[in-house]
Structure 1
Amino acid sequence: MITLYTWSTPNGRKISIALEEMGLPYGVKAIDIGADDQFTPDFLALNPNHKIPVLVDGDTVVNESGAILLYLAEKTGQFAPKRDDPEYWEMMRWLMWQMGGQGPMLGQAHHFLKFNPGKAPYAEERFRVEAKRLYGILDGHLKGRETILSGLSICEFAIWPWVSRFEFQQIDLDDFPNVRDWYLRLADRPAFQRGYSVPADVGPIPKL
């Protein structure tokens, strides 16, 4: 049985959404990062970087959300092109864009715009502008497309949870209509709704 150590954050929801879409049975261990559960000895034994999510599958322990998504895609043969498929590197490009750009930069936007407003005007403006730039990149790619690749993939599982906090980032999704429509289509999927509520139901998926 897979065990997912997670909390109600975009990075945690990447994996619960993937597990739900893949139809894999799993158990959940809630790691309350507000209560510093990520610093307990038991959790640090799984991930010395003290970050969620962590996935344990038998004797295999995987941390870093992108690595977990790739592990699950390979395990199940779902939601990722094979190595000899031309789309494989397109998948990797968007997954790394999320891991290296969208996630970290939007996380900084959350820090300054949502949780510490008024303390660092320069940082607020910097990450507000960067958030809009990143949304613009995704919006341009999604023009005329239903999904990031030719079908639903781990790219959606990685990118969508960060878009679901558009309010934290002071983003008006109507300014990015292709992202808006993509986001809302995925928000209607039952597996996304179930995964969004792991490890606890904190309310419905934000809509416009």
Structure 2
Amino acid sequence: MLKFYYNTGPNPMKVALCLEEMGLQYEAVPVDTRKGDQHTSSYLEINPNAKAPTIVDDDNIVFDSNAILLYLAEKTGKFITDNNPKSKADLYSWLMFIATGIGPYSGQSVHFQHMAPEKLKYAINRYVYEAERHYDILDKRLAQNKYMLGDTYTIVDMCVWGWARMLPKVIGEGELEKRANLHRLMTEINDRPASQRALNINVSNNHNFKVEIDEEASKHMFPQNERLKNI
């Protein structure tokens, strides 16, 4: 059975949504980053980047959430575009836009606003501004299409869902509602049974992640801060 190593962050959750939408059987294995699970030797053997998610499908190991979605879509033939150059060009472009734009800038926006030990005005302004710009691009795209790739719900929409549901924390309260087209897509996906199952993965898996960001959690989540002690 496919093994899905996850936590409840945006990237693992879009994979959870994909697995549920595809109706695939999987074993959910929690990776509790605040307890340091991602740094264990057993996990580093399957994901040298020490991040979640990862899937192990027979002898195939796939890490990076967008790579996982593309792998699953190509394997099953579900939630993917037609196999022609135009459709594939759109798929790859928007999938990579989310991987290299939405994800990193959203993550840094959250970090510098809510997690960084110092409130750096320049960093906050830069990443919030770029996050706003990236989500505006999604909203404009969705003004022209029902879904990101046209009339068909695909893995690209699942990628959008993973991050856009975090918009109150990425930018601020009310920011999703300000982007009416993106809000429409999010409402539709949130109403899908698969998203409800994905959001309840911990309930079905009977697991509670550590929520405190204490000294131990900070050491595991932000190992770079250890270097500050020597500067």
Q: TM-score, normalised by structure 1?
A: 0.92
CA contact (8 A) 1:20 1:192 kept: yes
Root mean square deviation of aligned Cα: 1.6
Q: How does 1:162-181 map to 2 (within 5 A)?
A: 162-171=163-172, 172-181=175-184
Q: Deviations over 1:117-175 (max 9, x none)?
A: 86211111111111110111011000042211131101011121111111111241222
CA contact (8 A) 1:8 1:200 kept: no
Write the letter of the residue equivalent to 2:71: Y
Structure 1 residues 89 and 200, CA gap change in structure 2 (3 angstroms): farther
Deviation, 1:200, is 4.9
Match of 1:24 in 2: 24
> Any unmatched runs of 5+ in structure 2?
209-231
Q: Deviations over 1:13-61 (max 9, x none)?
A: 1111000000101111000011110000110111111111110011111
Structure 1 residues 117 and 173, CA gap change in structure 2 (3 angstroms): farther
Write the letter of the residue equivalent to 2:37: D
Q: Deviations over 1:72-93 (max 9, x none)?
A: 0011110112432521110111
> Any unmatched runs of 5+ in structure 1?
203-208
Q: Distance in 1 between matches of 2:203 and 2:5?
A: 12
3-state SS, counterpart of residue 148 of structure 1: coil
Structure 1 residues 148 and 58, CA gap change in structure 2 (3 angstroms): same
CA contact (8 A) 2:132 2:171 kept: no
Write the letter of the residue equivalent to 2:170: Q
Q: Distance in 1 between matches of 2:135 and 2:198?
A: 23
Q: Distance in 1 between matches of 2:141 and 2:64?
A: 25
User: How many residues are matched?
Assistant: 202
Match of 1:206 in 2: none
Of the candidates 170, 180, 199, which is equivalent to residue 196 of structure 1? Answer: 199
Match of 2:155 in 1: 154
Write the letter of the residue equivalent to 1:164: R
Q: Distance in 2 between matches of 1:145 and 1:63?
A: 30
3-state SS, counterpart of residue 87 of structure 1: helix
Which structure has the larger Rg over C-alpha atoms? 2
Range 168-177 or range 17-26, more displaced: 168-177
Match of 1:50 in 2: 50
Q: Distance in 2 between matches of 1:3 and 1:174?
A: 36
Write the letter of the residue equivalent to 1:174: E
CA contact (8 A) 2:5 2:54 kept: yes
Range 23-32 or range 113-122, more displaced: 113-122
1:182 aligns with 2:202: no
3-state SS, counterpart of residue 141 of structure 2: helix
Between structures 1 and 2, the one with greater helix share: 2
Which contiguous aligned blocks of 4+ residues in structure 1 show a shift greater than 6 angstroms?
A: none
CA contact (8 A) 1:55 1:68 kept: yes
Q: How does 1:75-114 map to 2 (within 5 A)?
A: 75-84=75-84, 86-114=86-114
